Structure 1
Amino acid sequence: MSDIILEVADILRPSYLKIARAKKHILDLQREIDAFLGTKPAKLVIRDDRAAGQTIRSVKQNSPVPETISLIIGDAVHNLRCALDLTVFAIVGDKTPSPQSVQFPWAWSPEKLEATLTTRQMRHAGKNVIDAVKALEPYPGGNEAIEAVHRLDITDKHQLILTAVSSAEMTLEEFSRFVPADTYRAQAARPDKRNITLFLTAGSEWTLNYRFKGNRTERRGARSKIAAREYEADVQPTFHICFDTSLPVVGMMPVIDCLVGMTTRIEEACLQIGRAHAADLLGAK
């Protein structure tokens, strides 16, 4: 039994080194993001329009997200993808006549998983390993962490991974700190409206009509007193760096939180496959 434990530990060691490297990249990324957000690259501004009797709130970004952030994200994601590949290669790489085809199997639909297992040489693994891989649901709509890692790794091979400055996810109750609660209505008929969430990204803009009291003459007088000006809002949301909306699975998700979650899930996946291989080795004795 001890020899099996040592063999599995040896199999997982390269994968864990890659995961450790990904964690280091994430720490470096956090420092880069903190430094960038420390420059206050975005702000919530208010523009009063006297003629229209409106106030326009918008998020303005003063400087672009540094490309270094995209580069570090790509490095972290690639290490996570490599961790999966190294795990399965250590198990079947010396058993298949086509080791160059060995890769952690990602299928583009549940129906294609069986064929992908064959293409990626996983039929040379034991039954418990194959069952463990299937249980991970490596296809769209299955394991989101594995899907995110796979898609982002492909994206990083062709272009920089896009990010955006965004506020944190907010409930309507939190949103009312930035906009007077009596000036908007958001799906008020829904009983769960307190759970509706919003993001404020660079370029976000919404218009609110002033509500003047009194007769027509009094309302006109009140409108004429509105100064046409643009100014920074007294209360500012907390901004984060999120994945761009164009990215599947992770769009509008905070980069750091997302990468930390992905790392945990990939580490768990490698361990599950390693344990399954131990079961196969034990059964063969």
Structure 2
Amino acid sequence: MEGSSTTIEDDGIPESVARKLDRAREHVCNLTAEVSEYVDECLAARREVENDGKDHLLVWDRFSLFPARLALIIGDAVHNLRSALDHLVVALVKAGAASSGAGLAEEEERVLQYPVCATEDSFKAAVLRRRLRHVPSAAVDYIRGMLANTA
């Protein structure tokens, strides 16, 4: 990955991962503020009770659609989080390759990515495609445990 860094900071997180996580945090903070503003300015509802308390109605006094801008902020945050995971895999692979004395060709680095998989079979396929080559087995097991439906 062009521009990626395997410099490990004092907290053990590669610099490129830390930068992506920081940017995702900024997006989430912006999203929190904008959602709060949207709720305060665009939504107002009250509950009405009818039929001797048998029926409860939610009546909107003020409602407007979710602003498209919020979807963009969500997308930016998700993209930065995904990118941080990919940078982490690259750092793990480079460290694993270096510790075993193996080299890592540029073509090999280009296919590295954090495996986002819905099933154990798709995770195994990602491993077979060498997405986690040189990653220590304990880290591969940890990643497998983090994936939906594979634990």
TM-score, normalising length: structure 1? 0.40
Q: Which has the higher contact order (CA 8 A, sep 6+)?
A: 1
* 1:131 aligned counterpart, secondary structure: helix
- 1:106 pairs with 2:107: no
Checking the alignment, whether the CA contact within 8 Å between 1:41 and 1:63 is kept in structure 2 is yes
1:118 to 82, 103, 128: 128
Q: Which runs of 4+ in 1 moved over 4 A?
A: none
Name the counterpart of 2:82: 81
Higher alpha-carbon Rg = 1
1:137 to 129, 146, 151: 146
Structure 2: how far apart are the matches of 1:55 and 1:132? 50
Structure 2: how far apart are the matches of 1:121 and 1:55? 56
* 2:117 aligned counterpart, secondary structure: coil
Equivalenced residues, count:
134
Name the counterpart of 1:17: 19
2:37 to 35, 40, 43: 35
TM-score, normalising length: structure 2? 0.70
Structure 1: how far apart are the matches of 2:7 and 2:137? 18
Name the counterpart of 2:67: 66
Structure 1: how far apart are the matches of 2:93 and 2:33? 39
Structure 2: runs of 5 or more not aligned: 1-5, 95-102
Name the counterpart of 1:241: none
Checking the alignment, whether the CA contact within 8 Å between 1:110 and 1:139 is kept in structure 2 is no
What is the alpha-carbon root mean square deviation over aligned residues? 3.1
Structure 1: runs of 5 or more not aligned: 1-5, 143-285
Structure 1: how far apart are the matches of 2:146 and 2:31? 29
Q: Could you tell me the percent identity over the aligned residues?
A: 27
